[in-house]
Amino acid sequence: MVSTSRTHNPKTYSIISILLTTVWLYTPHQINYILHCASRWLPQETSETQADYLDALTKSDLTLCPVGTNSESYRIYEAMAYGSVPVLENVMTPGHCGQDTGPLAAPFRLLKKYNAPVIFVKDWSELPAILQKEKERTATEIRERRRNLFKWYQSFKEKMRGLFVGVLEKRFFR
């Protein structure tokens, strides 16, 4: 199963919706997917909508994470926490995260530095090939990839915590 992050960008929603619908219609083995788009940001998540979202992540092998104002969002990490491999659009956006220059300007810098087990796309037109490859994976391969993603994400969180604590100690306790 494939899920998409909740997106508020109608253009991104449209592109992904058309791609997924086309793939679904023209492939011999149908691919299950969940697509959610909100016309506006909702500041208050209900327990029902949160449960639906987490259930979708739990059941999804891949989670499509379209860019918004910034390339990176917390949805990438939510997907990894539930074992769903994020598919990330590898583009720099004009948001606050994209105002650096030099090597810091690269999108998903930390994910790339620590070899995150995610899928990067330059363009969503690559999606049909990715989904075709997914259909060819065995259940064992999918379980192993999920297990490896959990391990990687746990290690990544520990590394980030260590770096953060190190900065705090250096700045405030020495």
Instruction: Give per-residue pLDDT as tens, 104-115.
Output: 567 888 999 999
Model pLDDT for residues 51-82, shown as the tens digit of each residue: 888 888 888 899 988 887 788 888 899 999 99
Residues 6 or more apart whose Cβ sits within 8 Å of residue 156: 114, 116
Query: Is pLDDT of 153 > 80?
Result: yes
| Alpha-helical runs (H) found in the chain | 10-26, 47-59, 74-81, 109-113, 127-135, 139-172
Residue found by looking up tokens 């391990």 in the block: 151
pLDDT at 35: 61
Q: What angle do CA 69, 54, 40 make, to 5 degrees?
A: 35
Looking at residue 87, its pLDDT comes to 94
Q: Tell me which of 45 and 101 has the higher pLDDT.
A: 45
Domains identified in the chain, total number: 1
Packing angle of the helix pair 47-59, 74-81 (nearest 10 deg): 60
Residues of the domain holding 32 = 2-172
pTM for the model: 0.76
CATH number at residue 16: 3.40.50
